[in-house]
Amino acid sequence: MSASNYLEDHKLLEQAVLSGDEKQLKHVITQIYEYEGVQIVLPSLSDEAFRFLHTESWTQDTIEVLYPYTSSYFIPLGQKKAMMNAFVCYNTFDVETANGQKKRYGAKDEADRIIDGFQNCGFTMRGPRIDWTSDELLQHLEGLVAEVKDTSSCIFICIMTHGDQGFIYDKDRKVGEINKILNISYQLKDFLPVVR
């Protein structure tokens, strides 16, 4: 009997998924299926195993092992191990200035609705960070990303302020570069989706 037939007949991948044992699952994928050159097709799992795979909580190491076999980013709904994180930062511009930067009426309500939406979807929220300078924002986001980069399944960064092409304005109406904020995500592993 070929390795492919044996693995298919005994449903080793499915058993490993349903066991919830991450060590076993990683072993089955990396040591058995890959070694034998057997293709892994996660959507071919039974409905029960496929649902379990997506609703349980897995460590970032397991997500990384599974990632090459998914058709999109693999974000498990279970949040006990690798978590979905969201950061919301906004400026209110409480005082209008002559240079055209108007107060952001409703900024708090807008942020509250976004935060509620994230929480309803199961995200862990940090913040919000309100009324920041560009340097404060960068330092804040760098610290948050460094703190959660090894325990996240997804990171969503939401920044609400006035801006222009490639620039944002901080609470002091000074220009900050969007690229500096985007560069923070380079410290993350490739299999982690970052929405910016």
- Range 83-195 has CATH code 3.40.50.300: no
Q: Return d(Cα 123, Cα 75) in angstroms, integer.
A: 11
The residue with greater pLDDT, 46 or 101, is 46
Phi, psi for residue 47 in degrees, rounded to 5: -55, -40
Segments making up each domain of the chain, as ranges: 3-69, 83-195
pTM of the model: 0.86
pLDDT, mean of residues 31-56 = 89
pLDDT-derived band of residue 30, with 50, 70 and 90 as boundaries? confident
Tokens of 25: 């699952």
Q: Where does the pLDDT of residue 98 fall: very low under 50, low under 70, confident under 90, or very high at 90 and above? A: very low
